[in-house]
């Protein structure tokens, strides 16, 4: 288990890779939610963590599962276009099934990518605001 303190918030990084809904359920079981890095500094923390742990695919609490092309955080808040950072060419809704977001290749470019929700990735839960 890896834990990080960011202000009063505690972040938990999973030790295993699972599909998005399993990651979401595990965070809830921990009394937490999937990490929602809504600001650029928080997003940069996320990219930093993924890079340090050398984990290319890491889920965060961001999807367009409800309405295709409309990305919202797990708490229902829409993304802010000026603070979000997508990887080059993303989101692309690849094969029409990319709905769940995680980090893309942390070496080439720190940015988010939409993936097939059933693919397995590590994930980060946040406890606190």
Query: 3-22 mask for Ca ion (x: CB under 5 A)?
Result: --------------------
Report, in Å, the least distance between residue 103 CB and Ca ion: 12
Quickly tell me which residue has 């999973």 as its tokens.
14
Query: 63-92 mask for Ca ion (x: CB under 5 A)?
Result: -x-------------------------x-x
Instruction: Tell me if 104 contacts Ca ion by CB under 5 A.
Output: no
Q: Collapsing DSSP states into helix, strand and coil, what is residue 112?
A: strand
With contact defined as beta carbons under 8 Å apart, do 25 and 123 qualify?
Answer: no
With contact defined as beta carbons under 8 Å apart, do 3 and 124 qualify?
Answer: no
Handedness of CA 120, 126, 127, 129 (dihedral sign): negative
Instruction: Tell me if 118 contacts Ca ion by CB under 5 A.
Output: no
Query: What residues line the site for Ca ion (CB under 5 A)?
Result: 64, 90, 92-94, 98-99, 113-114
């Amino acid at each position: 288990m890896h834990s990080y303190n960011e202000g009063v918030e505690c972040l938990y990084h999973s030790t295993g890779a699972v599909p998005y809904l399993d990651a979401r359920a595990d965070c809830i079981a921990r009394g937490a939610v999937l990490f929602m890095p809504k600001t650029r500094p928080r997003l940069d923390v996320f990219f930093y963590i993924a890079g340090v742990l050398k984990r290319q695919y890491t889920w965060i609490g961001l999807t367009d599962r409800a309405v295709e092309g409309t990305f919202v955080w797990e708490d229902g808040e829409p993304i802010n276009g000026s603070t979000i950072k997508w990887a080059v060419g993303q989101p692309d809704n690849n094969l029409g099934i990319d709905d769940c977001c995680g980090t893309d290749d942390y070496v080439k470019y720190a940015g988010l990518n939409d993936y097939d929700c059933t693919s397995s990735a590590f994930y980060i839960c946040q406890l606190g605001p």
